[in-house]
Amino acid sequence: MTDISDASAPRSAREWLSILARYREPSIRRSLFELAATLVPFLALWALAWAALSISPWLALALAILNGAFLVRIFIIQHDCGHGAFLPNRSVQDWVGRTLGVLTLTPYAVWRRTHAIHHAHHGDLDHRGIGDVTTLTVEEYRALGPFGRFMYRLYRHPLVLFVLGPSYLFILQNRLPLGLMDQGWRYWTSAMGTNAMIGIFVGLIVWFGGLWPVLVIFLPTSVIAATIGVWLFYVQHQFEETHWSKGEDWQLHNAALEGSSHYVLPQPLRWFSGNIGIHHVHHLYSRIPFYRLPEVIRDHATLAEAQRLTIRDSLRTVGLHLWDEAEGKLTSIRDAQLRYGFA
């Protein structure tokens, strides 16, 4: 990992802000192109999968699974809308985000608020629980009773995090403004309005095609996209040398840069994931449109080398469960038990 404070680069995370501000302006033409290049194939694959039902449900299922990749990219565009990074006109941008939220099963205003909390408090041990993957310190885990430890182990199990969890999050949990239920009508309107539009959409599918399109196309596409999305979010923050601190030791910009990975993906995975793997840059300056993130690492080799995480590296992050404050890194429960001598 390259030291981001070397002599050829700014010496602090905060100093990068004025440099990254040069990349913040979206291009209306480019944004509309990216929207069309994502939505048109998504809708075309939906239509092809529906037509394929009359030939083979397995063919329809294969097309639906492929379409999950386009749905991930739709979520990235919604994500940029939430950060005010996709279009200059905020009102139009918000309506694009709300509309895409029906396809991604994600109420726009609710997600935008919880995601803003994630950005504002990422890596802060004093503020956890909204918009993040639950992460305990070694001492917090040691203080739990047997049932609490079992539940935490269950939560961090790959089957729960990456198989059951994504479907629960996007299909069930997103139907309510959890975490914001006492924060006013805006978030209830967002959740219930999105639910109503999803209900109409699914109702029309059933009206014209019965249950098969829902079971073979709609649900598999949504589940695949949710699973990919949760995996990306996980590896972007849950790597060994990530950043967690508390109190006066926590600094927003340091946590943004040092606590987010540069997930190095090959094409076409980089395209389908909307360059979100360049996550350390995104967290440091979230107003940069996703299609301009490659410009940043092209122009700044120091950022291109910082927090690099390959696909092989990312697979090893699944075994990390606890933040070791003494060592300043994520560790497995087993390693923590051996290091600190508890059962």
User: 292-299 — which CB contacts under 8 Å span 24+ positions?
Assistant: 292/23, 292/26, 293/23, 295/23, 296/20, 296/23, 297/262
| Any domain includes 152 | yes
* pLDDT for 13: 87
| Any domain includes 327 | no
* pLDDT for 343: 81
Q: How many CB atoms lie within 10 A of CB 34?
A: 22
d(CA 53, CA 217): 9
Percent of the chain topping pLDDT 90: 94
Distances (CA, A) of 288 to 43, 152, 184: 27, 35, 30
pLDDT higher than 70, residue 1: no
Q: What is the mean pLDDT of residues 272-290?
A: 98
| Any domain includes 311 | yes
Tally the domains of the chain.
1
Q: Which pTM was predicted?
A: 0.94
Per the structure, the complete domain to which residue 155 belongs is given by 16-318
Query: Would you call 324 helix, strand, or coil by DSSP?
Result: strand
| Any domain includes 178 | yes
| Any domain includes 236 | yes
Choice among 11-15, 105-109, 209-213, 265-269 with the minimum mean pLDDT: 11-15
| Any domain includes 324 | no
Predicted confidence band of residue 140 (pLDDT cuts 50, 70, 90): very high
| Any domain includes 343 | no
DSSP code for 169: I
| Any domain includes 102 | yes
